[in-house]
Each structure stands twice: as C-alpha cells, then as structure tokens.
C-alpha cells in the first residue's frame, strides 16, 4: 500500500488569490523536539486554466532560480494570470538554508532522490511529496538550476531527448519560449533519481536550466531567469502580454555524447586557459592543473575533446581528481 506523505501544505491549492505558506514536514530533532521543516510555497490562482509548477533550490546553492522565484512570489498578482502558478523556490529548503548543494540533515541530494519515500529521510520525503502531490497538478514544470559552488555555466535552458517525440516537441517549444541566451539538448550522465526524469515520465512538459553558478549570482543572470520565467508563463497561456525574446537568444547547443565532458584526472591548482562561451577546436589547451604541494612540477594539461563552445567549467581555484573540469557543447545553430 502507498504510504501517506507526512507533509501537509498550510495553504489551499484550489482557491483564487495569492496564498503564501509552507509545506510542513515534521522533523523531530535535538533543538526542536516536535519541530518541523517549513518549506516556503506560494500558490497564485485565478479561475480555471493551466497550472505551472516553478521550482528552484532543488540544489541549495544555485541562486539564479532561487532569487527569481522568491521575487516572483512577492510580485505576481492573480489579476495578471489565468489558471494557477505554484512557486516552490527552495525545494530542498534545508540545503538552501545551509548554502549547500545537498541537505545538511541527511546529506540528501534531492535531484538524485526521486521518486522519494514517504517514510524515508527528510530529503526523500520532500521528493515523494513533490512528485505525488505537486507534479500531477501541473501542465508545465520549470526547474531552475545553475552550477552551484563548484560549476559555472553559460546561461541555458535545456530539455532532454525523449522517446515520446510529441512530448519532446512540447518541451523544446517551451525551452525556446524561455529565450535564454542558449538552448541545450542535454545529455545526463547520471539521470537515475532526477526530478527531470520522473516529471518527464509523468508525461509533463518539462524545462530545466543552468543559468550560471559559482555559488552566487549576477544581475544579468537573474534578469535572464526573470525574463525566462515570464516568457514561459506566457507560452503556457497563464500570463498575458508579449514575450521578451532578445535577438541574440536561443543559440541551440547539443551534447551528443559523453565526449562533451572533461573530467579531471589530477588534483591541485586549477588554471582555466579558456573562458565560458569561448569557441574551441579539438586539441586546444583548455586548462592546466598544478601540483598544489610543490613548485617546479610539470602541470597536467587538458585539451578540448571536440570542437565546440565552453558551456561549463569547474569553478573553485582548487580541483580534485574526478571533478568535472569542463563541458564542451556543440553549437548547432539557432
């Protein structure tokens, strides 16, 4: 038998108006015997119509989406919309408060925890609730990511190659409507347990993003998120108005195979030799890694595995063996 989720919303999902509240998840612990994790949520509804589920903070240190959705929750009025917008800006709320990718409570990586468990860890309980109670309500789902503390990306919206081509086309159209500077057909090396995977399996129109990173954000990147979210809501028929599509947006990128990823095979001091957004040719020097413990050694050199654009780079100044050093994506046009 399917277990009941311990999470209860403090606001209604089916009433018109703006409702700010919480998903209340009981969590008994040393500093709060009968305490709860209170995950902020906003539901804005105006009559019958499509529902968009907007999520950020799936990873707690990815700030572009977090900032944009906190902002939107305070600004969007029911008079502007038809249907419903569910805003969950800090999905893995304990991770967000801890400024970390994963939860400090159970080390749970929410984006590897789906479908989750009603009687599992705190992170598994969040996954279970979102999948069983929020995703079924939605016609379109947008999950905003960026690189967090360890990666930095050129700003792109992304979808996956799907078996169902009708669904894939819906997702691609929504991705294009978002109008990020880049649009990516994304390859996942590790898709088991991802929110993306379960939402796509539920047949929903799903768009994700990587909008920057480095464990902070910039005005430009937040503006890309703000614009994209509004464009997506217009595309979904929820928000009225004209989409804002800059001329230079929507450069199409592809990650056709695992050859796009460059993993570090040495640890030490990281020297990027190319920057994000730069075009490279196969064999170009893209980074050096120096032995951090002595001078005078020969650095390990990393070469571009293919022609393309530097879409992602390792962010911190130190790097470990096995870290993602860079992603070289293929530019396939507009």
Give contact residues for Zn ion (rule: CB under 5 A).
59, 62, 145
- Rounded to a whole number of angstroms, the minimum distance from the CB of residue 327 to Zn ion is 14
Long-range contacts of 18-24 (CB under 8 A, 24+ apart): 18/42, 18/43, 18/44, 18/76, 18/77, 18/78, 19/43, 19/44, 19/45, 20/73, 23/88, 23/126, 23/129
Tell me which H or E stretch contains 128. helix 122-129
Tell me how crowded residue 199 is: count the other CB atoms within 10 A of its CB.
25
Task: For the chain, report the end-to-end CA distance as a whole number of angstroms.
Answer: 49
- Rounded to a whole number of angstroms, the minimum distance from the CB of residue 178 to Zn ion is 16
Give the Cα separation of 64 and 215 in Å (integer): 10
If the CB atoms of residues 62 and 64 are measured against Zn ion, the closer one turns out to be: 62
If the CB atoms of residues 5 and 100 are measured against Zn ion, the closer one turns out to be: 100
If the CB atoms of residues 109 and 300 are measured against Zn ion, the closer one turns out to be: 109
- Rounded to a whole number of angstroms, the minimum distance from the CB of residue 171 to Zn ion is 18
Question: Using an 8 Å Cβ cutoff, are 280 and 245 in contact?
Answer: no
Q: Write the CB contacts of 260 (distance below 8 Å, at least 6 apart in sequence).
A: 187, 305, 306, 308, 311, 327, 328, 329, 330
Query: HSE (CB half, 13 Å, CA atoms) of 90?
Result: 22
If the CB atoms of residues 5 and 146 are measured against Zn ion, the closer one turns out to be: 146
- Rounded to a whole number of angstroms, the minimum distance from the CB of residue 45 to Zn ion is 28
If the CB atoms of residues 145 and 176 are measured against Zn ion, the closer one turns out to be: 145
- Rounded to a whole number of angstroms, the minimum distance from the CB of residue 186 to Zn ion is 12
Question: Using an 8 Å Cβ cutoff, are 136 and 20 in contact?
Answer: no
If the CB atoms of residues 153 and 270 are measured against Zn ion, the closer one turns out to be: 153
- Rounded to a whole number of angstroms, the minimum distance from the CB of residue 220 to Zn ion is 19
If the CB atoms of residues 125 and 145 are measured against Zn ion, the closer one turns out to be: 145
DSSP, residue by residue, 80-117: GBSEEEEEETTSSHHHHHTTSSS-TTT---GGGSTT--
- Rounded to a whole number of angstroms, the minimum distance from the CB of residue 66 to Zn ion is 11
Q: Answer positive or negative: Cα dihedral of 157, 69, 195, 110.
A: positive
């Amino acid at each position: 038998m399917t277990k009941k989720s311990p999470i209860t919303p403090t606001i209604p999902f089916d009433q018109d108006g703006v409702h700010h509240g919480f998903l209340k998840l009981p969590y008994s612990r040393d500093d709060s015997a009968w305490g709860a994790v209170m995950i902020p949520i906003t539901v804005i509804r105006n009559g019958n119509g499509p529902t968009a589920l907007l999520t950020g903070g799936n990873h707690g240190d990815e700030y572009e989406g977090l900032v944009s959705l906190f902002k939107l929750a305070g600004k969007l009025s029911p008079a502007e919309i038809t249907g419903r917008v569910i805003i969950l800006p800090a999905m893995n709320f304990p991770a967000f408060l801890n400024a970390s990718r994963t939860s400090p409570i159970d080390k749970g990586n929410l984006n590897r925890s789906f479908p989750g468990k009603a009687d599992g860890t705190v992170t598994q309980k969040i996954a279970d609730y979102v999948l069983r109670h929020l995703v079924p309500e939605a016609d379109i789902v947008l999950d905003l990511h960026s690189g967090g503390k360890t990666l930095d990306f050129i700003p792109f919206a992304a979808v996956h190659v799907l078996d169902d081509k009708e669904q894939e086309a819906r997702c691609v159209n929504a991705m294009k409507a978002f109008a990020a500077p880049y649009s990516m057909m994304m390859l996942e090396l590790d898709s088991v347990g991802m929110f993306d995977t379960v939402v796509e399996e539920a047949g929903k129109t799903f768009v994700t993003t990587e909008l920057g990173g480095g464990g902070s954000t910039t005005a430009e990147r937040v503006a890309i998120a703000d614009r994209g979210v509004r464009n997506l809501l217009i595309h979904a028929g929820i928000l009225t108005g004209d989409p804002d599509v800059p001329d230079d947006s929507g450069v199409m990128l592809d990650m056709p195979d695992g050859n796009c990823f460059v993993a570090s095979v040495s640890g030490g001091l990281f020297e990027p030799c190319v920057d994000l957004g730069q075009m490279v040719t196969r064999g170009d020097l893209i980074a050096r890694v120096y032995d951090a413990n002595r001078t005078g050694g020969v650095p390990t050199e990393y070469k571009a595995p293919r022609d393309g654009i530097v879409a992602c780079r390792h962010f911190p100044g130190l790097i470990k063996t096995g870290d993602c050093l860079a992603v070289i994506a293929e530019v396939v046009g507009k």
